[in-house]
Amino acid sequence: MNIKRYLLPIFLVAFAVVLSFGVGFQLSQSLSHPVTELPEEFNALGEVWQSLERYYVNKDALDAEELSEGAIRGLLKALDDPHTSYLDAETYEMEWSAYEGSFEGVGAVITMKDGELTVVSPIAGGPAEEQGVRAGDKVLEIDGEPTSGMNLTEAVLKIRGPQGTEVTLLILHQGETTPVEIEIIREEVKLDSIYLEMLPEGIAHIQITHFSERTHEELVAVLNDAIDNGAEGIILDLRNNPGGYLHVAVDVASEFLDGGTVVYQRDSEGRLEESPATPGGLATDLPLVLLVNEWSASGSEVLAGALQDRGRATLVGNVTYGKGSINIIRELSGGSALYVTTARWLTPDGNLIEGVGLTPDFEVEITDEDVLNGRDPQLEFAIEYIKSQL
């Protein structure tokens, strides 16, 4: 039995469609644990199986593997914790393949929000974005099959596929009432995480799409490039960022903080563990604005919470997602796996992220009209704010 340490898998198998979001992890040592004796309350479960095996009229329907998975899913559903989940062997293998740095699919982070399959963000330059898929879109059908009866895993498996094949999605754009069919040719999607645009008056607009193993290294290169090009202020764009590796989020924060606390972890016993910043960052003095929205989650909330609480950055945008739990992934027999919530995150000031999110210093909305007209009021506000600090 192996245990891998995760940073908030908010979108679980969504990585298989792009990058889960919200999935990030740190590998820990492999541990071997015998199965402990079950509480007597579980005796009835074994008795049910024995009774079915002996008396059930349709013996062909008694698929032990399928019934076992059903029992596991029912057990986890009773916890009412969306971040503690079961992955069958196929899905688990599929998810890990995405960590190779690229995958074949449509290039969009998806999640289940209020029972609807929802796009968190399309990957920049990916086939979904090129065909007009946007953050907040509802996916109503996949190749003509309604998504209303699917779980996230099933949807991921139907959307993902070999490069060069086609999938048709019935999409309801945010703010619209008439869905549209979008045909997408699956491609190999690269998982770059940092994008830099130098704006007028020495403002560096740096977008972080997720926190992968390469993100900190990419950020250092981008910061050096921006500074060499005369950057006087930075807009760090974390909108639609679903999270990633915790240690990378801490490393990224270290480039903007001169030491001190980034985040606390509180476990089931109430114990606090601190994750400090490493002194000597490249951009500890430049004026800094963070852009966040309702799809900024997990690692992006850790980063934003640290920079806000420490007075290092001004947050602009919308209240964030509110995913502040820590999970491990434990490999089970037969190749399946279990995500288990083990702790909660607290910002440096002791504020809980889970279920609450972060409130920006300046809440700025983007309307449907803004989207249709190609305007970005949040970025515009951030630019003017940076200018006022120069």
Q: Kind and range of the H or E element at 275?
A: strand 272-276
Note the pLDDT of residue 242: 83
Pick the catalytic residue: 138, 251, 309, 336? Answer: 309
Residue 158 annotated among the catalytic residues of the structure: no
pLDDT, one tens digit per residue, over 178-194 is 999 999 999 987 777 89
Q: How many CB atoms lie within 10 A of CB 339?
A: 21
pLDDT, one tens digit per residue, over 42-70 is 888 889 999 999 999 998 999 998 898 88
Average pLDDT over residues 346-359: 95
Note the pLDDT of residue 27: 34
Average of per-residue pLDDT values in the chain: 85
Q: Which residue has the tokens 């004026």?
A: 287
Q: For the chain, give the percent of residues with pLDDT over 90.
A: 51
Pairing mode, strands 288-292 and 314-317? parallel
pTM of the model: 0.73
Q: Which amino acid is at 73?
A: R
pLDDT band for 388, please (50, 70, 90 cuts): very high
- Across the strands, what pairs with 20? 22
Residue 68 annotated among the catalytic residues of the structure: no
Distance CA 45, CA 292 (A): 46
Residue 258 annotated among the catalytic residues of the structure: no
Pick the catalytic residue: 85, 138, 254, 323? Answer: 323
Longest dimension (CA), the chain: 79
Distance CA 194, CA 373 (A): 26
Pick the catalytic residue: 298, 300, 325, 336? Answer: 298
Domains of the chain listed by start with CATH number? 3-34+43-94 (no CATH), 104-190 (2.30.42.10), 194-326+343-389 (3.90.226.10)
pLDDT, one tens digit per residue, over 18-39 is 333 333 333 333 334 556 678 8
Note the pLDDT of residue 291: 98
